[in-house]
Amino acid sequence: MIIFKKDFQIGASMSSMQTEGKGITKIGDLTFDKYFQEHPELFYDRVGPEITCDITRHYKNDIKMFKEIGFDSLRTGFSWARLFPDGKNLNHEAVNFYHDYINEYKKNNIKIFMTLFHFDMPLWAHQKGGWESREVINSFVNYCNFVFQEFNDEVDYYVTFNEPLVPVYEGYLNDKHYPALNDPKQAVNQAFGIFLAHSKVLLEYKKHNLKAKIGVVFNWNYTYAYSQSKEDIDAARIYDAYVNRGPLKIMYNGQIDPILIETLKEYDMLPAHSQEEIDIIKQTKIDFLGINYYFPCRVKCKENNLNRWVMDKFEIKIPENAKINPHRGWEIYPEALYEIGMEIKNDFNNIPWYIAENGMGVENEERYRNQQGMIEDDYRIEFLTDHLLQIKKAIDDGSNCFGYHLWAALDCWSFRNAFKNRYGLIEVDLKDQSRKFKKSAYWYKQMIEAKKG
């Protein structure tokens, strides 16, 4: 059993859209509602975002189960579209729900991290241009200001964005998210808008003088060159500036990597911006950093005739001898977590940080149900153990890591994957929305109980 200090927070993550569904209050349409309406066949088993885990009806029992496991803290989020269904008018029922919801965690002595944006773009905002629109950015800032004023220090930690560039890469360079385009120019403008929105919200947050901390949760899929060839090393350096360290440093302290500027200029891809907006971004300062880690990126240079932007020249390639999660096709490489911990210590001023997501998604977990009806997910316990050992090693070597949240507290709906790959400590039965602990929940409980001062 891995033993952490008593003040090390151990808990889990989930998100508003992936657990709430339409819920008990009015909520505006999201881009994923539109995507599902247009192409239900793209979603696993044609399961859309209508119900998900129906947590707005089940949260008291869910939080009771979280308490039984022993969570110190949990991350979920507010839904912008629930609080402001049309982007302008406040939904008072939603305000009351979130007060009740957050207070239920408080009653059970579970600290709460609340995310302000987790892939859940309101449809009206997308129709106005998404993050490329300054009107949308200002509406987002207004929504965040309302949250800070209304919920104040009921929330222990605020998170501006979860995995900020995933909707960009998956929606504007891929078909996993709406609008399912492949347009690098739009992707760059959307990304810049996210950086600007993040920085504007941080500046507004300071005006509220809250005790709560504010940060960002970034998916750092640590970059390696696929080989030691000069081409692959150069490819990894540029890829890293676009996907990992580059955007992370912008959202950490407003530092813009010169590689980004040079290569975007080379392809005439610089986003529309003003000097005032650059000055706002340069004022960026967060209190803590959340890191989501699932797999590394091993970058290889490739031949490509598209030549639209520099990223067309690279591909991610998994070594033949790598350990793989076959259900997701992702490499399993826990050692990168230690390197992340050391890099935060040495290059990010040892900012307080925590693992905000790390987990093992497996298809058809029914195969592992025992005679007593419990899923014996030893594969998940092995995965989590291997990664937690690397976190412990980083802490022992001086990295300022204050906690670990696995993904996910319970089986969550996951966009086009729906419930194909299950990640939870707690099983969700989609037929009746009943919940049941998996074997990993009892293992996790033991690890939390083993903490010592």
CB 240 within 8 A of CB 223: yes
| Cα–Cα dist 202/208, whole Å | 11
Identify the bridge partners of residue 403 per DSSP, sorted by sequence position. Answer: 9, 354
For residue 118, the SS3 value is: coil
From the list 277, 357, 365, 427, the catalytic residue is 357
| Torsion angles phi and psi, residue 265, rounded to 5 | -60, -40
Nearest C-alpha neighbor of 416 from the set 17, 121, 49: 49
Q: Which residues contact 370 (CB under 8 A, 6 or more apart)?
A: 376
Where does residue 233 rank: exposed (0-12), middle (13-18), buried (19+ CB within 10 A)? middle
The one catalytic residue among 104, 163, 331, 427: 163
Can 357 be counted among the known catalytic residues? yes
Other beta carbons within 10 Å of 55: 25
163 carries an active-site annotation: yes
CA angle centred on 354, ends 331 and 155, rounded to 5°: 130
Enter the DSSP assignment of 55: H
Q: Which two tokens stand for residue 338?
A: 């230690």
CA distance 405 to 423: 12
Report the C-alpha gap between 304 and 355 in whole angstroms.
36
Placement of tokens 């937690």 in the chain: 388
Which residue, 132, 291, 166, is CA-closest to 217? 291
According to DSSP, residue 367 is labeled G
Maximum alpha-carbon separation in the chain: 65
Q: Which residues belong to the active site? A: 163, 357
